[in-house]
Every structure is written in C-alpha cells, then in structure tokens.
Amino acid sequence: MGRKKSKTYAYSYEQYEEQGKGPKEVVGDILADKDFPDLTELAIGCWGNPWEESCQEVIDGIVAEAGSFSHIEKLFFGDMDFEECEVSWIMQGDYSALWAAVPQLKELTIKGSTDLELGEICHENLESLTIICGGLPKSVMKSIQNAKLPNLKKLLLYIGIEDYGFDGNGDTVKELLEKSDFPKLDYLGIVDSEIQDELTEIVLGSKYMGQINVLDLSLGTLTDKGGELLLEKMADWPNIKKLDIHYHYLSNEMADKLKNLPMEVDVSEGNEEDAYDGEIYRYAMLTE
C-alpha cells in the first residue's frame, strides 16, 4: 500500500528555455518514469510555456499511447498556480479524442479555458468533471449539456466573467441544467460568477435539486438577494447535506440565518463590496 499513486509532471520555464522541455516532451517523460505503471492519478502541471503553447501535444500523446494510459483513473490538466501562469493565460486544447483513450478515467479536472474544446463527451466511468477558469465559454457548456456521462456524480463549473471567456448568461446555465442528463449526480457546483444571485435562482429551480447531496454556489458575488432565496427554498430539499457558499457578499445577519439551515453550511470568507463614484463593485474569486 506504500506505493505512490499520484504524481505531477511539470517543467519550469527554465527547463523550457535551457533544455527545450515543452508539451511535446511530457508524454515521453511520463512513459519513461519507472513510477508510472503504479500510478492511478496524473497531474499535468506547467509545461514550460503554457501561455504560448497549448497542452494539445500532451492530449494527443496520451491518445496515441492509449494502451499505456488505460489504468489511469484521475487526470488534472493545468495544475499550476498563478506564479507559474495566470489561469486566463493557460492555453488549453481539444479533448475530443481523450474520452475513448482513457476508459478507466473517473475524475477529470481542467484548469484554464482559452481554446478549450471538449467535443462530444461520452464516457461510461467518469464520475467527476471540474473546470477551473476565469470564464467558461458557451461552446464548452454546450458539450457538457449534451454529454453522455451515465455515472457522473460531481459537476463543478467555474462560470467566471466576460473578460476572461464567459460569453453566455443565466439562460446558458439554465439550458445546461435542463437539457443535461446525469442520473447519478450528487454534487452540483455552479461557482465563481458575478451573477451568482441569478444563477442561485436558476439552480434552485433545476431538476437536480431533488437528487444532489451537495450544492456548491461558492466563490461568486452572492448577496442577501440570493441568500433570501436559499433561506426560502433549501428546507424543501432534505436530501441536501451540505451547502457551500464560502466567499460571498452576504450580510452578517444573513450569513447567521443561513448557518441555521438543517444541513452543513459553509459561509466562510465574507467580502465587503467596493464603492466608487456611486457604483457598487463585487468580484468573483477567480477573475484576476
């Protein structure tokens, strides 16, 4: 049981500059690693110059060597912090061919949405899909809306803002929730939005409310308007064991009321709105 199951593969900018290490080299280095056959979890970190070159060659390399990657159950593309590369600068890729290449995959996390494409999503075993970004494009949401993921249990989407790639609106999210079909979903996260109140209303009216155990509306601009909706509606859903609304713009009074809901409630990280020239400003967490 002492064997390492998870490993991150990453290159620094210095390795890129001095050794020519970039996305093209990642898969070869993974395959050459003596630890690789025992791993079940892979994280692809900084690939040297992720603000200039996409991770497409990493994706394509995994697809080309699909037999060697068939044991992988967890993948994270873009596991890097802002000091390595701002999330909005990360050049992503097209994952269309990945779904068939990693049949045992249970968890996929993607960080960054620039040039991100998911294609036609069809996977029997995937249980968790997380996209961390400053702005989620409509095209990506459409792929998720049409996805065939019969065993998906967790969906966590950073909606973000227009400046960093979000080109939809509340109706885009509403359509995704209405038309998607995830019969086993038990964790729904629609987070990091500057229209968090509006999205809260949409989520509370969605078909998934009766089946999920965790509702995550964190990291956005949730105010007392959204808080009132939660107070009013959450008692209708005894199946929900946890409400995550950490990082918010709720008043202390509203936060205290929500803490008394009959479930675990995370109301940590309250924020103060800014006022300039009579305008009120609130910011979602991941907007740089």
DSSP 131-172: EE-SB--HHHHHHHHT-B-TT--EEEEEEE-GGGT----HHH
Tell me if 68 sits within 8 A of 31, measured CB to CB: yes
**Under 8 Å between Cβ of 165 and 114:** yes
Instruction: List per-residue pLDDT tens for the chain, 288 residues long.
Output: 445 699 999 999 899 989 989 899 999 999 999 999 999 999 999 999 999 999 999 999 999 999 999 999 999 999 999 889 999 999 999 999 999 999 999 999 999 999 999 999 999 999 999 999 999 999 999 999 999 999 999 999 999 999 999 999 999 999 999 999 999 999 999 999 999 999 999 999 999 999 999 999 999 999 999 999 999 999 899 999 999 999 999 999 999 999 999 999 999 999 999 999 889 999 999 875
Residue written as token pair 């006022």: 275
Say what the pTM is. Answer: 0.96
